[in-house]
Amino acid sequence: MAVDPKKPVRVRIAPSPTGPFHIGTARTALFNWLFARQHQGAFILRIEDTDKERSKGEHEKDILEGLKWLGLKWDEGPVEEKSRISPPKADPPRAENPKSQKFGPYRQSERTDIYGKYLEQLLAEKKAYYCYCTKEELDAERTAAQKAGLPPKYGGRCRELGATPAGKKPQIIRFRVPETKVEFDDIIRGKVSFDASLFGDIVIARDLANPLYNFAVVVDDALMEISHVIRGEDHLSNTPKQILFAQALGFEIPAYAHLPLILNPDRSKMSKRFSDTALNDYRAKGYLPEAIVNFLALLGWHPQDDRELFTLDDLVRAFDLSRVQKAGAAFNQEKLDWLNREYIKNKSDAEIAAALKASVHEAVSVDEALLMHVISAERSRITTFGDFWNTAGFFFELPQYDKELLFWKKENDRSKTKNILVRCAEIIKDEPEFDRNAPPKTLIDLIEKEGRGNVLWPLRVALSGLAASPDPFEILEVIGTKEAYARIEAAIGKLG
């Protein structure tokens, strides 16, 4: 029903490069991409950079990289020439996998001629007109209307002007809004209707070369033959305006689906005040793209059964746009963390090592073999790759700790603990290496004689410096008996 079998499915993600790639935009991209894949359609990336002041090349780059990182490739676009990369700094040549992205994005800034043409058409047909009112005049009008409790719409002073009034300059181009109701069928929300007479004549461009968002979108969606506009709910009230423009231009109206917004814990629109909003922040912290994808998919959508874990391929099979929730969804960091742990579980140690190294900004030189051992010891404790270095750092360097930590129970006094550690040191000293599955008999005897906690606790603390860590045998095996001996000696030293 949502899909006309005769019409190819073509969807787009249309981010504006005025800030870092937003996690909400990433979700919109995901849903679009899934919908395209399900219907053998095309997923298009269009950079909406009509706002020249606020659009930045670095943000565009961030968007492109974010999409690639998530595995959401777009299907068409201009073929990028090398010279197009705006900063002259040449990209480091790297072996690109042949399946990698070969298209650049469409950019609205490169399509101004096209918009100008349609602007002229509307002007010629008297469906749009030049407005000579200054910003100051309009501001005054708006505040007055608002004060009177009326919709803050443009009064239409320049609407019927034949020629340029003497001494005035055209300020903007307005669309002549007809007095009608605009109704459309939203795939997620059902029938939605607006009263266009409340809009006033909408500004569609500063001049022929500078169209505004609402207008450029309509032209692009029509020219790119977008079949389904899937976007955030914040665009719901733009939709009737865009439908009006499309009708005036004789364009076909696409199907619409407005996704619920991602919310802060206080249920306002997600913002930096409560959590990181940039996709890149999560990438930098060491979240896996598959965890992010899975998490985002579950924010506003859910299958009919109780499954929670989905790969991108699973999602292509299971996702259903019409099952998307209407209500906004609060961003839930704990669930993301859980998902990330789940995906880490499925990774091999080698994969974790690779991700770990990638998550570190500065070059960290660690012993490769040691790192692999540490990963196998710590992998069940890691939530993100970023926090690996905090929880597992003690393997590489013993942290400072208080000597009180060495006492298992309060009644275990200094001499008893010290005595046990001295015995441990003696046992370790002559062992060339330690196999946790075959510990020295002398150590087993000691544990049996003194009690597990009495030996294992101080030993573990001596080795890790922490109240919580992997067990001492495991640490012993990873760091080796030589380092272990030194650490136990240090603990004995602390006890005086």
Partner RNA sequence: GGCCCCAUCGUCUAGUGGCUAGGACAGGCGGUUCUCAUCCGCCAAACAGGAGUCCGAUUCUCCUUGGGGCUACCA
- Contacts to RNA from residues 421-450, by CB under 7 A: none
Q: Decide whether 100 or 400 has the Cβ nearer to RNA.
A: 400
Is 404 a residue that touches RNA (CB under 7 A)?
A: no
Q: Total residues contacting RNA (rule CB under 7 A)?
A: 82
Q: Decide whether 43 or 473 has the Cβ nearer to RNA.
A: 473
Q: Which residues in the 467-486 window bind RNA by CB under 7 A?
A: 467-473
> How far is residue 183's CA from residue 82's CA, in Å, rounded to a whole number?
45
Is 1 a residue that touches RNA (CB under 7 A)?
A: no
Is 330 a residue that touches RNA (CB under 7 A)?
A: yes
Nearest by Cα to 421 from 494, 356, 342: 494
Q: Output 407-412 pairs: Cβ under 8 A, ≥24 positions apart.
A: 407/458, 408/453, 408/454, 408/457, 408/458, 409/453, 412/454, 412/458
> How far is residue 494's CA from residue 489's CA, in Å, rounded to a whole number?
9
Number of H helices, E strands in the chain: 18, 13
Which of these segments, 66-74, 244-252, 299-307, 488-496, binds RNA (CB under 7 A)?
Answer: 299-307
DSSP 39: T
Of 61, 189, 357, 403, the one binding RNA by CB under 7 A: 189
Is 301 a residue that touches RNA (CB under 7 A)?
A: yes
- Sign for the CA dihedral angle at 68, 106, 15, 277 comes to positive
Which of these segments, 35-43, 81-89, 255-263, 352-360, binds RNA (CB under 7 A)?
Answer: 255-263
Of 20, 260, 286, 289, the one binding RNA by CB under 7 A: 260
The β-bridge partners of 205 are 173, 211
Is 106 a residue that touches RNA (CB under 7 A)?
A: no
Selected catalytic residue, list 117, 272, 326, 482 = 272
Q: Decide whether 230 or 263 has the Cβ nearer to RNA.
A: 263
Residue 191 C-beta: closest distance to RNA, Å: 7
Element (H, E) at 408: none
Residue 397 C-beta: closest distance to RNA, Å: 18
> What are the φ/ψ torsions at residue 51 (nearest 5 degrees)?
-85, 100
Q: Is 272 a catalytic residue?
A: yes
> How far is residue 86's CA from residue 91's CA, in Å, rounded to a whole number?
11
- Chain position carrying tokens 């994808």: 293
Q: Decide whether 8 or 77 has the Cβ nearer to RNA.
A: 77
Nearest by Cα to 106 from 38, 19, 10: 10
Of 237, 346, 348, 415, the one binding RNA by CB under 7 A: 237
Please answer whether residues 24 and 270 qualify as being in contact, where contact means their C-beta atoms are separated by less than 8 angstroms: yes
User: For the window 265-294, what string marks contact with RNA as x by the rule CB under 7 A?
Assistant: xxxxx-------------------------
Is 381 a residue that touches RNA (CB under 7 A)?
A: yes
Q: Which residues in the 42-101 window bind RNA by CB under 7 A?
A: 48, 50-51, 54
Is 198 a residue that touches RNA (CB under 7 A)?
A: yes
Of 11, 158, 203, 491, the one binding RNA by CB under 7 A: 203
What 3-state class would DSSP assign to 465? coil
> What are the φ/ψ torsions at residue 72 (nearest 5 degrees)?
-105, 90
Max Cα distance, the chain (Å): 105
Q: Which residues are catalytic?
A: 272
